[in-house]
Structures are given as structure tokens and as C-alpha cells.
């Protein structure tokens, strides 16, 4: 006998009723989460720097068209929200770090930089006049040294090599070796000079970059 209209069938287990309704709820939740992550990724692509402090529940909610509370329901902390956005951006980039092979590393770097070039981040430059003058003098001297060592190379090829050498004797790469890789200062220095020597040998052997 069927229950009267307008009443619930108490004979059906509560778990069964939840299972009946869950597919639609799960789909809606998945779509909302996807919209939130898409909004977060859009925000990051528009940031003028890599400072992600603007990636907040409120900002992402406004971009996604949902409430701040809804964002919080899907991500309990802003750290978890940022981690999920990073994962979304990584998937978009097509850069896969699992089972990385050195033979594929060059192509991976190319893909990564190509993807990052679509972001609005503006590279920072040396603005202090004194430091800017020193930086310019250093780059000029390095380029002149490369020119003397590569008499038959194109200007583009010379600039590419000089730029890489300039990067290697800059402070940030050295600091990353020490802080992220925990190399002692002496080992970090040997690592940098090893790469510099490889470039010098490549120049002597006539191995040019594709300018």
C-alpha cells in the first residue's frame, strides 16, 4: 500500500534516500568547485606579481559569482584553496613532473615558459640608480667578453649566452642552491662555476644556441 500523497515513505532507509539524491548534489558541488578553481586561476593570471595574497576567499568568490561561505565550504583554508589553484594551473600548463627524464627537460622548460608568458606578471627591474649603473656596466662587460670569444656568432646568439652567464653570477640562483637545495656555500659556488665552464667549453667547440 502506497503512503498518502504529501507524506514521506518512512519505510525507505535514510541512507537509500541520500543515495538517490547524492548524484545530483555531487554534480552541482563538482561544478561549483570547478567554477571556483577557474575563478582562482583567472585571478592569478591577472596578478602583476607572484604575490598571491590577493587570492582570498572573498576575491575568488566574487570572481566565481558565489558567496565567500561557499568557497570556504569547498576549501577549509586559503592555503588549501591556493594549493588547488596551483594544481589547476599545473594541469593547464601541460607540465608533468612525474617520471621526468633529462632528455625531455628542455622541452618541458620550453612549455613552462611559454605558458607563464601568458600571465600578466611584470618582471622586476633594478630601479636604484646606483645599482642600475653597476648592473648595466656588468652586463656590458660580460657581453664584450662573449663577443671576443665568438667572432663569427650572431648578435642574438651572443646576447643569449651573455644573458645566461649573467643569470649564473647573479645572487638569486646562488641563494636558491643554498636555501632550497641546502648546498653549502662552497658547493653552491662550485655548482655555478661548473655550469659556467660547460658554457665556455661549448663556445670553444662552436656549439651555438639557436638565435
CB neighbour class for 45 (10 Å; exposed up to 12, middle 13-18, buried from 19): middle
Enclosing domain of residue 110 = 16-116
Phi, psi angles (nearest 5°) of residue 95: -90, 115
In a shared domain, residues 68 and 138: no
8 belongs to a structural domain: no
Place of cell 583567472: 42
In a shared domain, residues 21 and 75: yes
In a shared domain, residues 71 and 140: no
pLDDT tens digit sequence for 19-44: 555 788 889 989 999 999 999 999 99
2 belongs to a structural domain: no
pLDDT tens digit sequence for 107-129: 888 888 899 888 998 877 767 78
* pLDDT bucket at 95, cuts 50 / 70 / 90: confident
Cβ proximity of 36 and 80 under 8 Å: no
In a shared domain, residues 21 and 104: yes
197 belongs to a structural domain: yes
Phi, psi angles (nearest 5°) of residue 175: -65, -35
CA dist., res. 115 & res. 61, Å (int): 25
In a shared domain, residues 195 and 160: yes
CA dihedral 57, 71, 120, 168 (to 10 degrees): 80
Q: What is the mean pLDDT of the chain?
A: 87
CA dist., res. 138 & res. 153, Å (int): 21
Q: Total domain count for the chain?
A: 2
In a shared domain, residues 134 and 112: no
pLDDT top residue among 34 and 134: 34
The last residue of a domain, from among 116, 151, 178: 116
Amino acid at each position: 500500500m502506497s503512503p498518502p500523497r504529501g507524506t514521506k515513505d518512512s519505510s525507505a532507509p535514510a541512507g537509500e534516500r541520500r543515495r538517490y539524491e547524492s548524484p545530483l548534489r555531487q554534480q552541482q558541488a563538482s561544478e561549483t568547485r570547478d567554477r571556483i578553481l577557474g575563478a582562482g586561476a583567472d585571478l592569478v593570471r591577472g596578478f602583476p606579481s607572484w604575490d598571491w595574497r590577493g587570492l582570498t576567499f572573498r576575491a575568488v568568490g566574487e570572481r566565481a559569482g558565489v558567496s565567500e561561505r561557499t568557497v570556504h565550504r569547498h576549501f577549509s583554508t586559503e592555503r588549501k584553496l591556493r594549493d588547488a589553484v596551483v594544481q589547476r594551473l599545473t594541469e593547464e600548463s601541460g607540465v608533468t613532473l612525474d617520471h621526468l627524464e633529462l632528455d625531455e627537460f628542455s622541452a618541458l622548460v620550453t612549455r613552462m615558459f611559454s605558458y607563464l608568458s601568458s600571465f600578466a606578471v611584470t618582471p622586476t627591474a633594478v630601479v636604484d640608480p646606483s645599482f642600475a649603473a653597476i648592473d648595466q656596466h656588468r652586463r656590458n662587460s660580460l657581453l664584450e667578453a662573449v663577443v671576443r670569444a665568438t667572432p663569427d656568432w650572431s648578435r642574438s646568439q651572443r646576447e643569449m649566452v651573455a644573458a645566461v652567464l649573467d643569470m649564473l653570477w647573479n645572487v638569486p640562483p646562488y641563494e636558491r642552491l643554498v636555501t632550497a637545495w641546502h648546498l653549502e656555500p662552497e658547493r653552491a659556488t662550485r655548482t655555478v662555476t661548473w655550469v659556467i665552464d660547460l658554457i665556455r667549453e661549448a663556445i670553444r667547440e662552436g656549439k651555438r644556441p639557436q638565435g
